[in-house]
Structure 1
Amino acid sequence: MPLTVLIPWRPKPSRVAAFDAVVAWYRENLGDVNIRAVDTDDEVFNLARCRNVGVASVVDPDSVVIINDADTIPEKDALLDAIAQAATSGRVHLPYTQYHWLGASGTAQLLAGTPAQQCDHEVVLGACSGVYVTTPTTWWSHGGQDERFRGWGFEDAAWNLAHETLLGELPRRHYGHVFALHHVAELREGPNYDANAALMELYREAASSPESMLQLVTASRARLAPGA
């Protein structure tokens, strides 16, 4: 089965070790899988647009795509289960039921060779990002991610609501963990963050009906989906 790993990525000194660890994990566990780092020409890093651009670059609309944050490592069994089901389910799959943020100490342990499950961590409740498993057809069926979210914050939560409202269920989870590695935290304040929070409110309101959500998602789609 054709398989592509897309990693939204703009190099920053504190993030390089995590990115290298993610790539190394895929090489060790999935061999010569096609890995693509994805960035855009946006002055402010646009994670939603990177994800969309990456998916739009995949030629076969029914091939499986892993969209993997540059700081997050999955578990192999959960990932393989998600890959197998995502090919035909018409839903996005999350290969975890628990999201572990390792922090500085846990990341140091991991990079020194401690198994990820044994590293110091905090559990992030409600996490719905980190690693997505999908096909381009499924990704575009509920609008992809809204590129009006700029900088950091809320694009994953808004996407989660769109998936639930338009596809009739939340993304499908597979028992397991993902492990988010430490780096310098991004700014969660300022004009971009405030605009993202306001846009998130529109998503919460639109979740009242598929018709409202479709209208909101359609408004964001002057972009990349084939045929859009």
Structure 2
Amino acid sequence: MVVIPWRPTTDRQYAYDLTVAHYRDLLPDTAVLAVDTNHQPFCLAGCRNRGVRLAEEAGADVVVLGDADTLPERDPLLEAIRGAATSGLVHLPYTAYRSLRRDGTAQYRGGVPLQDCNYVEVPGACSGVYVTTPATWWSHGGQDELFLGWGGEDAAWSAAHLTLLGAEPARYEGRVYALHHASAVKEGEQYTANFARIYRYHQAQGDPEATWKLLREGEVAHAERPVEGPQQASVAP
């Protein structure tokens, strides 16, 4: 199953549509599910966790968690799906994360192959596309749903993965391509809180007890949060 965290917005709709079409081309026999939660603001970590739960309920052995603007290459993705089934680690189907920005995205929309589009490489990226089994995802706590709005959940998750599973996520030689869209707001109290929380994960790195404590804080906050809107999950068109 492919899970795409998605809350519809006009400026990002085209990126979502291209991403769904890309997965349908790469994995034609695999269900593609768009997932949202009742978090306000949007919670990427919450969508990923819910997507894994839904995949588990559907009996999926492996789930691909793909951002609604990020396109993987075929061969590394297939290798990651095979590897994730048995390794006990989360797999990332890339070693290079390419941000196409406005110019590269325009080229792709105009028919230029992804590998030939203009890009800026983002060093150290650990987001965009994850491949995992449900058991592996829960074995290191999933992702922390106290990260709301933009930023932080990926870096915190990476630190937790290393601390609790004893290894970095497995990677496969290849690239993912992030499409351009309007940027999220990168300021304000929530933004500041997210990055203060990343710091706590980095401070806890290497300490399983401290890392689990942080993850439990997120679970408690999620359980106590009042419902502010509908949860949605639908087969992507």
TM-superposed CA distance for 1:17, in Å, is: 1.0
Tell me the distance in 1 between the aligned counterparts of 2:150 and 2:197.
13
Kindly indicate whether residue 45 of structure 2 is the aligned counterpart of residue 48 of structure 1: yes
From 8, 15, 28, the counterpart of 1:18:
15
Tell me the distance in 2 between the aligned counterparts of 1:30 and 1:60.
17
Q: TM-score, normalized by length of structure 2?
A: 0.90
Tell me the distance in 2 between the aligned counterparts of 1:214 and 1:39.
25
From 124, 127, 131, the counterpart of 1:126:
124
Tell me the distance in 1 between the aligned counterparts of 2:3 and 2:48.
8
Tell me the distance in 1 between the aligned counterparts of 2:105 and 2:204.
38
**Map of 2:168 onto structure 1:** 170
Which segments of 5 or more consecutive residues in structure 2 lack a partner in the other structure?
A: 224-237
TM-superposed CA distance for 1:62, in Å, is: 6.6
TM-superposed CA distance for 1:171, in Å, is: 0.5
TM-superposed CA distance for 1:218, in Å, is: 2.7
**Map of 2:104 onto structure 1:** 106
8 Å contact 2:40–2:148 — kept in the other structure? no
CA-based RMSD of the aligned residues comes to 1.4
**Map of 2:230 onto structure 1:** none
Tell me the distance in 2 between the aligned counterparts of 1:213 and 1:28.
38
**Map of 2:211 onto structure 1:** 213
**Map of 2:3 onto structure 1:** 6
TM-superposed CA distance for 1:211, in Å, is: 2.3
- Bigger mean CA deviation after superposition, 205-214 or 109-118: 205-214
SS in 2 for 1:57: helix
Kindly indicate whether residue 62 of structure 2 is the aligned counterpart of residue 28 of structure 1: no
SS in 1 for 2:219: coil
**Alignment-mate amino acid for residue 21 of structure 2:** A
Provide runs of 4+ in structure 1 moved above 6 Å. Answer: none
Which segments of 5 or more consecutive residues in structure 1 lack a partner in the other structure?
A: none
Q: Could you give the per-residue CA deviations for residues 170-222 of structure 1, whole angstroms, max 9, x where no partner exists?
A: 10100000000000000111011011111111101111422221222233224
Q: Could you give the per-residue CA deviations for residues 19-46 of structure 1, whole angstroms, max 9, x where no partner exists?
A: 1111111111211310100111222111
Tell me the distance in 2 between the aligned counterparts of 1:220 and 1:184.
28
**Map of 1:87 onto structure 2:** 85
Tell me the distance in 2 between the aligned counterparts of 1:44 and 1:218.
20
Cα gap change, 1:61 to 1:162, in 2 (>3 Å):
farther
Count of residues paired in the alignment? 221
Percent identical among aligned pairs is: 53
- Bigger mean CA deviation after superposition, 5-14 or 51-60: 51-60
From 54, 61, 64, the counterpart of 2:62:
64
Q: TM-score, normalized by length of structure 1?
A: 0.93
Cα gap change, 1:22 to 1:62, in 2 (>3 Å):
closer
